Chains A and B, each alone.
Chain A
Amino acid sequence: MLLGPAQLVGLGGALGAVCRHAVASRVPAGEYPLGTLVVNVLGSFLLALVTVAGADRATLLFVGTGACGAFTTFSSFTVETVRLWEEGARLPAAGYAAGSLAGGLAGVGTAYGVAAVLGLG
């Protein structure tokens, strides 16, 4: 292996973080934290796909732990949910919390479906 685990995870993490930042700055910042929802669903799909596809260790470290791990975020999600809730938007806050989970699970399910169709894993 040319790069060690720390380099693979770190470079993947840098890439994932920059992509997240790019998505966040392109999604219109309205009342609803749509940017975080998009990255979390998309990243969950990608992580599940490389995992079920049986990628090698280096790919899993770079794409999975590094890029997908950093592209998706839990802390922004919790901060945004608390903010929505305290602004009085309790239904949107609950919807955001449940929708992130449902979207993430749907992403994982879709990845399993895609992997089965493509004959991966």
Chain B
Amino acid sequence: MGERPLVRAEAAALVAVGGFAGANLRFLAGQAVAGLGGTLAVNALGSFLLGFLVYEAELAGVLSRRARLVLATGFLSSFTTYSTFVLDAASAAPAVAVAYVAASYGLGFAGVLAGRAVAARVQPTGGGGSAAAAEGGDR
């Protein structure tokens, strides 16, 4: 909105770099795991990681704004996909489609909650960048 052109161009470049990598990793996962499983795994894993990043930002704030643009808006949001999910669900047999949607939503939401639980254990101080998994971090 009120941002200067150069700042916006930098944001777009960071998002593009993340998008390039995220789309490719999803492509590779689709080749490694045939059928619906590849997209399901990618969406569940991506939801876990984005849940971690978003709540890490609120609870600890170790990562910079630029890192978050690359990782969250660029990489993870491109790694996961809704269009392939919906098209595959629409093309599957009804019983398979219902199970696929339920599994995708269920694992996706559970992934976000798990990501947040991990983020709550990141220590805001220390500055090491990876002070995760400390014992008994209170929320």
Contacts and interface: CB of A to CB of B under 8 A. Distances in A.
Contacts of A73: 77-78, 80-82
A44 B19 contact: no
Interface stretch (B45-53, B60-68, B129-137): B45-53
B17 interface: yes
Contacts of B21: 10, 13
A21 B11 CA distance: 9
Given A74-B43, A74-B46, A79-B51, A69 B81 contact: yes
A25 B49 contact: no
- Classify chain B's interface size: 35 or more
A71 B15 contact: no
A13 B78 contact: yes
Contacts of A9: 23-24, 27
B79 A75 contact: yes
A6 B82 CA distance: 20
Given A16-B19, A48-B83, A75-B77, 18 more contacts: A6-B24, A10-B21, A13-B23, A14-B17, A17-B15, A17-B23, A17-B74, A43-B82, A66-B27, A68-B84, A69-B23, A69-B83, A70-B22, A73-B81, A73-B82, A75-B108, A79-B112, A101-B89
Interface of A: 5-6, 9-18, 20-22, 24-25, 40, 43-44, 46-48, 51, 61, 65-66, 68-79, 81-82, 97, 100-101, 104-105, 107-109
Interface of B: 1, 11-12, 15-24, 26-27, 30, 43, 46-47, 49-51, 54, 73-74, 76-87, 89-90, 101, 104-105, 108-109, 111-113
9 contacts: A13-B78, A17-B74, A18-B16, A40-B83, A46-B83, A65-B84, A72-B81, A74-B46, A82-B109
